[in-house]
Every structure is written in C-alpha cells, then in structure tokens.
Amino acid sequence: MNKPQLSFWQIWNMSFGFLGIQFGWGLQMANMSPIYKYLGASDEQIPMLWLAAPLTGFIVQPIIGAMSDRTWGALGRRRPYFLVGAILSSLALIAMPNCSTLWMAAGLLWILDASINVSMEPFRAFVADKLPEEQRGAGFAMQSFFIGVGAVVAGMLPYILKNWFHVSSETGNGNSIPPNVKISFYLGAAAFFCAVVYTIVTSKEYPPEDLEAFRRRKSESAGLGHFIGEIFSALAQMPGTMRRLALVQFFTWLGLFCMWLHFSNAVPVVFGSSDPNSDVFKRGAEWAGVCYSLKDAVTFVAAFGLMAAARTVDRRRIHGICLALGGIGLLAVGFIHGEEQKHLLLLALALGGVAWASILSMPYAILAGALPPERMGVYMGIFNFFIVLPEILAALTFGPLVKNYLHGNLVHAVMAGGVCMLIAAALAQWVKLPEKPTA
C-alpha cells in the first residue's frame, strides 16, 4: 500500500497520546520509591518491588502486539488498545496515592505497568502503520519529543504544587503519602486519558487491503494459545536487521540502567560525601534531580534535530553518534570533582539527553522498515524484550557487581554505563539497513 505523506500537524496528532503515556511513566519513576518508603519498605526491598515494570512489559507487550495485528473494528486496529489502556492506567494512577499498605502499592504498580503497556505498545506500530518509510524517523522522533515534555512536567509536578500552589508536602501521622504527590497522580491520570483520547479522535487508521481475507485469518487464529504461538513463531523468523538491533538495544539499556540506578547517589560522592545524613549528600541528591530535568529538556529539543536529520542522514550513523555522546557524558562523571564543578554534571547529562532522544526514535525507525506489515505489532512487542532483559539483569546483579568489583564506588558504576553505551554505538554501525519486507 502506498501511504500518503502526512503533514507536521497530522504527525503531531498521532503522537500526542505519548505525552499522556509519559505522565504515567514519569510519575511512577519519580515517586514510586518514595511511596514505598512512606509505606514502610526497607532499602533492600525496593529493587525487587521495582521488578514489576520489566516483567509486565516482557509479558504484556508482545501479546498486545499480536492481538492488535489481528484487530479491526470501529476504532481501527491500534486505537482500541490505546483507549482500554488509558482507562485502566488512569484508574490505577488515581488509586496509587491512596494506598494504605505496601502490598497494595506493589499490586497496583503491576496493574499500572500492565495498563500503560497496553496503551504504549500499539503506539510504536501505529507510526509504522500510518507513515511512509521516509517519514518514520520523523514520526518516532515526534514521540521522543512528547516523551521529553511529559517527563519534565510529570517529574516536576510535586515540586510545582508545593512551591507554586502551596500544596502541603507533609506526610502527617503514620504511613501516608503527601498531598502534593496525591494531587500529582490525579492530574497525571487526567493528562493520560485526555492526551490518548485526543489521538484517538484526531487520527484515523488504514483498513486492511483485503478486509474479508483479514477477517478469515482472524477467525482461524483466535485465542490466547495462538497469540503465544505467534510470538514464538515470530521469534524464530526474526529479520536479520532486528537481530542486530537487538544487540544494540541490550548494551544501550544496560548503560541506561547504570545511569538510572546509580547517578542520583553518585553525584553526592562527586560532591564529597556518601553519608545520606549529611548536608553534602542531600545537596548532591537534589542536584542530580536538576541534572535529570535538564536531560529531559534536552531530549525534547534534540527530537526536532533528529526529525530533520532522519530525512537525509543514515539512521545508523545518527544513532551511533548520539549513543557515543551519551557514553562520553557518563564517562565524564568520573573526571568531575567537587561541588564547585557541579555545572559540568549538567553538561554530562545533557549529552545523555541527546542519546535518550535517539534511543526513543532511531531504533524503531530502522526496525519498522524491516518488518512485514501484518506482523508489525508482535515484532514491536518482541523488540521490548531487549529492553526488559537488561533491566532484569541489572536489578538482580548490579548490586553485587558494584560491591565486589567496583569497590562500592557508584561513580565507577555510572562510568561502566558509559562503556556499555559506547559499545552500543559501535554495534549500531554493524546493523544492516532493511530491505523491503515481503508480505
């Protein structure tokens, strides 16, 4: 099918829902560890409580992808999943800050992650469904833009409510969640639902070229057993471009998790203290938050540059350069010493923001051209495996590795993430450009 070129605003509309999805992820990333602490979790329990995210993504995304490949109705192929996921996610976001026990919060995180994945996974396939090959880079870069905007706003919501609108941040008596965090989750629920509905209303989908044949195939392949079989079949027939990109993704996300897990605690070490009760440590942790906000701001600015570059420059080269910049930024943390050099940490994470913008767009733009259209959803879900597997590996092994091989030095742990990203940058050049897929 020859797909028409879409205007900037049409691409904007079809990607806008990602802004809401990022409210869900952003609120979760910024607030779930404190919520667990408010409800009585120990530091040792928190990494295992966070395993909900990768495990639900591992299970849910490929199944939803396979199901959406075989869906067609009044809302189209992908949009029904956008809507169901948005409703469930919004309800989970409203319920989360009202948890009174740790087990309730942990259970709701599983529900929230599963629901966000129901909405998010078809969005990747949606871009590939609607855009011609030459516009897919711009489509995925637009998603990066909305992810950056959503991350900045969602992460700052509790701060904005406290300092601009004077909403209390006190926890009260016993295990309770501060009012500014609660209201942030309520606002996030509304933003999630409204942004996704906006995309559903303003964007249409192309029907299957032979609708009757599509319906026959659907009736012959119903049931969860078939969807699971489809996932294993797709794994066995994975295109060569995807196999090589999977290795790039694996090392990329190992590097990212080194940053996410350790940067916030490494900055106080750069400042000169690893004692969580010291003022130096608290200033370092606060500055790490500022660095993350700048990273997310750079991400949505860089997304526009990637949209322009993707039209003319080899996407492998773009991705490799961006990953190398991110790796250099993480390695640079080891050469910054003292609180007086804290502004250099902003530059280090700004380079990470450039890499993050590319990570959210270029692999998917390369991949989309290598996939058969009728399996676009299931392969986009399977591609998530190579994000989830390094996350699980990191959660289970990084603690002992840092303790036994890096002598507990969290700055070295962040630098190890830089090495992983440089390896990914080199591997990106090894990826073969996709040939036109066969039906």
pLDDT of residue 210: 67
Lowest mean pLDDT among 111-125, 210-224, 341-355: 210-224
| pLDDT tier at 429, thresholds 50, 70, 90 | very high
pLDDT of residue 178: 83
pLDDT of residue 437: 46
Whether the pLDDT of residue 219 is over 70: the answer is: no
pLDDT of residue 1: 61
Domains and their CATH numbers in the chain: 9-204 (1.20.1250.20), 239-432 (1.20.1250.20)
Residues 6+ apart with CB under 8 A from 391: 53, 54, 253, 257
Q: In the predicted model, what is the mean pLDDT of residues 127-146?
A: 87
Candidates 415, 420, 280, 8; CA nearest to 288 is 280
Whether the pLDDT of residue 91 is over 90: the answer is: yes
Over residues 394-405, the pLDDT tens digits come to 777 777 787 788
User: Vertex 214, ends 212 and 217: CA angle to 5°?
Assistant: 110
Distances (CA, A) of 85 to 106, 139, 275: 19, 21, 42
How would you class 36 by CB atoms within 10 Å of its CB: exposed for 0-12, middle for 13-18, buried for 19 or more? Answer: buried
Over residues 20-71, the pLDDT tens digits come to 998 998 888 777 777 887 788 775 576 677 777 677 878 888 888 888 888 8
Residues of the chain with pLDDT > 70, as a percent, come to 92
User: Phi, psi at residue 76, to the nearest 5°?
Assistant: 95, -150
Radius of gyration of the chain (CA): 21
